Amino acid sequence: MKATKSIDWAALRRDFPILDQQVHGKPLVYFDNAATSQKPRAVIDALVRYYERDNANVHRGIHELSNRATNAFEAARTRAAQFINAASSDEIIFTRGTTEGINLVAASWGAQNLKAGDVILLTEMEHHSNLVPWQLLAQRTGAKLAYVPVTGDEGLLDLSRLDALLTSDVKLFSMVHISNSLGTVNPVAELCARARKRGITTLVDGAQSAGHMPVDVAAIGCDFFAFSGHKICGPTGIGVLYGRSELLNAMPPYQGGGEMILSVGYHKTEFKHAPHRFEAGTPDISGPIGLHAALDYLDAIGRENIWKHDQELANYAYEKLAALKDIRLFGPKKDRAGLVSFLLKDVHAHDVVTLADQAGVALRGGHHCTQPLMHKLGVESTARASFYFYNSAAEVDRFAEVIREIQKFFAS
């Protein structure tokens, strides 16, 4: 494997205290990054600093600590806008994560804009969090769901069907940027452009792309983009929903309470503009502060570099696995994101993961919250290795060796 130029990846790895440990007496190989990433010292320190020095409620007090907390909270919003090239920080809503971002759009935009007979277009490779909120909305409104098909094990979208699917009844097209089960990178800019031409609103699920590759919402041309902090070195419990200002300011509130109002009477309330209209109650304050540190950390490495590194690692792992007998690999052979999904013949994915864990290798086995996709592929589950920039080719070698040992164990 070629190392991406001029970056000391081993030094970066040392920024992650958790990685330096043994599991079951073996050095930890953490390959469950698509589920959640580990946190560098810079993020842990930002959280500690906030709680040790600045903790107070935001937007309320006029005392020093409250001002500091508010400034740090709003600085994180500005940084998040810059991170994805939003036109303004007013287009950034802090959420609990991708799931809440999508639920917010479904509850607010969906309730206002969808009626019986309208169609919500999804793809067959969506995570449950970009499926179930739309099913619930469809039940409430009488709207219908339609899907862009997946081609099969190589996990590409069958775009030959797209024009036929983009009918005048389609009001929303919501799509995953990078599939967490397949590693497919969808051409979201093209998909959004084709939808926009027909006046269709678009949402991109960026849970696996933000923080892993350069993301520019203006270049993608989407109306909404959702991602989670915990998958990109930030804390759990914080995420971002980007929405174009024009849409956000026309949408009704998501939840009611303090912070999101201009004035309240016993019978009537006036709401703030976006994004505050969508952030009822005391928000997660340390979350955005930790996220801010994570975004700075990632950009100091460079997302282009992270992307190249992760793709190289995934290609290397794919080649190693493809050289084995009795293995089924999922997702595209070329241009895959930093993960590999596979099944060993006659071995349940959970057994692979359990035995790999005994060897110190943390994988994920299951349906990866994509049950309909698993059914379509005719499997219950897969085993998945997912990478980030602190992983190395040596760890992939160890992982491949462990998989070979597991095969031998079940063959004997």
- Which residues carry out catalysis? 369
Which range of residues in 154-162, 189-197, 202-210, 400-408 is near ligand PLP by CB under 6 A?
202-210
At 67 the three-state DSSP class reads helix
CB of 208 to ligand PLP, least distance (A): 5
Which range of residues in 93-101, 139-147, 293-301, 374-382 is near ligand PLP by CB under 6 A?
93-101
Nearer to ligand PLP, 34 or 344 (CB): 34
Which range of residues in 42-50, 96-104, 146-154, 194-202 is near ligand PLP by CB under 6 A?
96-104
CB of 180 to ligand PLP, least distance (A): 3
In whole angstroms, how far apart are CA 303 and each of 26, 84, 99, 209?
Answer: 31, 11, 23, 10
Size of the site for ligand PLP (CB under 6 A): 13
Contact between 205 and ligand PLP per CB under 6 A: yes
Q: Given candidates 13, 127, 244, 308, which one binds ligand PLP under the rule CB under 6 A?
A: 127
Q: Rounded to the nearest 10 degrees, how much is the dihedral formed by the CA atoms of 124, 126, 128, 129?
A: -140
CB of 179 to ligand PLP, least distance (A): 7
Nearest to 305 by CA among 43, 6, 27: 6
DSSP 89: G
Q: Given candidates 81, 86, 93, 97, which one binds ligand PLP under the rule CB under 6 A?
A: 97
Question: Phi first, then psi: what are they for 388, rounded to 5°?
Answer: -140, 180
Q: How far is Cα of residue 187 from the mean position of the Cα atoms in its chain?
A: 16
Contact between 123 and ligand PLP per CB under 6 A: no
DSSP state string for 334-388? SS--SEEEEEETT--HHHHHHHHHHTTEE-EEE-TT-HHHHHHHT-S-EEEEE--
Nearer to ligand PLP, 54 or 279 (CB): 279
C-alpha–C-alpha distance, residues 239 and 391, integer Å = 24
Contact between 211 and ligand PLP per CB under 6 A: no
Which range of residues in 10-18, 61-69, 97-105, 275-283 is near ligand PLP by CB under 6 A?
97-105
Q: Given candidates 4, 141, 180, 186, which one binds ligand PLP under the rule CB under 6 A?
A: 180
Nearer to ligand PLP, 121 or 207 (CB): 207
Contact between 150 and ligand PLP per CB under 6 A: no
Residue 60 forms beta bridges with which residues? none
Cα angle value 281/240/131 (rounded, 5°): 100
Which range of residues in 200-208, 270-278, 304-312, 399-407 is near ligand PLP by CB under 6 A?
200-208
Q: Given candidates 4, 202, 208, 286, which one binds ligand PLP under the rule CB under 6 A?
A: 208
Q: Report, in this order, helix, strand and coil percent for the chain, each rounded to 5.
A: 45, 20, 40
Binding mask 229-248 for ligand PLP (x = CB under 6 A): --------------------
Angle between helices 286-301 and 64-83 (to 10 degrees): 40
C-alpha–C-alpha distance, residues 173 and 195, integer Å = 7
- Sequence-distant (≥ 6) Cβ neighbours of residue 105 within 8 angstroms: 133, 203, 224, 226, 241, 243
Contact between 311 and ligand PLP per CB under 6 A: no
Site for ligand PLP in 23-82 (CB under 6 A): 34
Which residue is it, tokens 């980030």? 388
Which range of residues in 92-100, 150-158, 272-280, 394-402 is near ligand PLP by CB under 6 A?
92-100
For every residue of 159-199, which 3-state class applies, written as one string? Answer: HHHHHHHCCCCEEEEEEECECCCCCCECCHHHHHHHHHHCC
CB of 390 to ligand PLP, least distance (A): 19
C-alpha–C-alpha distance, residues 86 and 242, integer Å = 7
At 74 the three-state DSSP class reads helix
Q: Given candidates 114, 176, 240, 385, which one binds ligand PLP under the rule CB under 6 A?
A: 176
At 307 the three-state DSSP class reads helix
Q: Given candidates 4, 99, 123, 174, which one binds ligand PLP under the rule CB under 6 A?
A: 99
Contact between 4 and ligand PLP per CB under 6 A: no
Contact between 103 and ligand PLP per CB under 6 A: no
Contact between 174 and ligand PLP per CB under 6 A: no
Q: CA torsion sign, 179 to 180 to 181 to 184? A: positive
Nearer to ligand PLP, 108 or 180 (CB): 180
| Footprint of ligand PLP (CB under 6 A) | 34, 97-99, 127, 129-130, 176, 180, 205, 207-208, 228
